[in-house]
């Protein structure tokens, strides 16, 4: 299937499965509202208990949402099992966190070769020498006190580091979607977190084809985010956030699944055997 067809079919999914989409939207919106309500509660020693209660409730609701998406995309059975939904959402959270930590660490490491770390240290030394009172100044006011060359050097290094960070975050976010498909298909967190399997899948898809796919999806999501930002003056940010999360869940999961499906059994089963022998 051509990439444009995959993306077109995935864009249609929230509309063709509109009942499921609306239900998932309501569940995710409930998670957002619950988080906001619990945020205002500060009841001493009960606060930690409330945080735990909020986390459990939102994870269960998210687990139900994932089950609905799996039903629409993977034809899995719909069921209401609180324990399964809770652990399913925890696994999803672990995978998401894992694929966020890696690009974060890479971005921090690139602060050295991009010169950002050395420039920040240089600015710190400059502020100490000039004896600036940073406690009463804003970041913008502090930046105005810096020499033009120092300010421009920091800006260039910062832009380069942000660009590298964005590239890695987009790349590893795509890894996380493939991992979630592996988790659903093989019910193994170990397989889902093994980057070697992801790389084997991408090699078989073709790096050029995969990057074209990522680029098109990223551009579409950028357009969607800009539209939602424009709608923020009319709609609540909670509604827009819930809509974006719901849409991303349906659209991106289906798109990556369709792309992955073309290179499924032989690659994955071989990678699974390799992984099994590696962990022995």
Q: To the nearest whole percent, how much of the chain has pLDDT over 90?
A: 16
pLDDT in tens, 221-236: 889 888 888 887 777 8
Average pLDDT, the chain: 81
* Nearest CA-CA partner of 228 in 213, 242, 214: 242
Q: Look at the pTM and tell me if it is higher than 0.85.
A: no
- pLDDT value at residue 143: 63
State yes or no: pLDDT of 98 exceeds 90: yes
Integer Rg of the chain from CA: 22
101 burial via Cβ count (<10 Å: 0-12, 13-18, 19+): exposed
Confirm if 61 and 80 have CB atoms less than 8 A apart.
no
| Token pair recorded at residue 22 | 């609306």
| Separation of alpha carbons 3 and 181, rounded Å | 18
> Cα(first)–Cα(last) distance of the chain, in Å?
37
| Separation of alpha carbons 79 and 175, rounded Å | 28
Name the pLDDT band for 279 (thresholds 50, 70, 90).
very low
DSSP-derived 3-state class of residue 19:
helix
For the chain, where are the alpha helices, taking DSSP H only?
A: 3-16, 18-39, 47-74, 82-109, 116-130, 139-144, 148-186, 189-192, 195-205, 207-231, 237-261, 265-279
Torsions phi, psi of 142, nearest 5?
Answer: -65, -40
């Amino acid at each position: 299937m051509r990439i444009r067809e995959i993306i077109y079919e995935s864009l249609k999914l929230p509309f063709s499965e509109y009942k499921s989409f609306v239900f998932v939207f309501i569940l995710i919106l409930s998670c957002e509202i619950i988080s906001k309500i619990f945020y205002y509660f500060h009841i001493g020693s009960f606060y930690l208990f409330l945080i735990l209660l909020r986390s459990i409730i939102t994870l269960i609701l998210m687990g139900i949402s994932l089950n609905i998406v799996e039903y629409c995309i993977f034809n899995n059975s719909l069921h209401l099992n609180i324990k399964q939904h809770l652990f399913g959402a925890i696994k999803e959270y672990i995978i998401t966190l894992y694929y966020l930590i890696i690009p974060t660490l890479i971005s921090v490491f690139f602060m050295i070769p991009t010169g950002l770390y050395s420039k920040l240290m240089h600015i710190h030394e400059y502020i100490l020498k000039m004896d600036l009172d940073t406690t009463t100044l804003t970041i913008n006011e502090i930046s105005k006190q810096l020499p033009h060359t120092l300010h421009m050097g920091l800006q260039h290094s910062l832009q380069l580091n942000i660009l590298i960070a964005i590239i890695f975050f987009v790349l590893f976010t795509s890894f996380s979607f493939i991992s979630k498909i592996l988790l659903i298909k093989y019910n193994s967190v170990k397989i889902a977190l093994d980057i070697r399997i992801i790389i084997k899948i991408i090699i078989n898809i073709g790096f050029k084809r995969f990057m074209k796919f990522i680029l098109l999806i990223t551009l579409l999501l950028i357009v969607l985010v800009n539209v939602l930002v424009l709608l923020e003056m009319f709609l609540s940010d909670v509604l827009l956030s819930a809509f974006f999360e719901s849409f991303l869940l349906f659209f991106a999961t289906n798109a990556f699944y369709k792309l992955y499906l073309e290179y499924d059994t032989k690659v994955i089963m071989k990678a699974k055997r390799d992984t099994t022998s590696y962990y022995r």
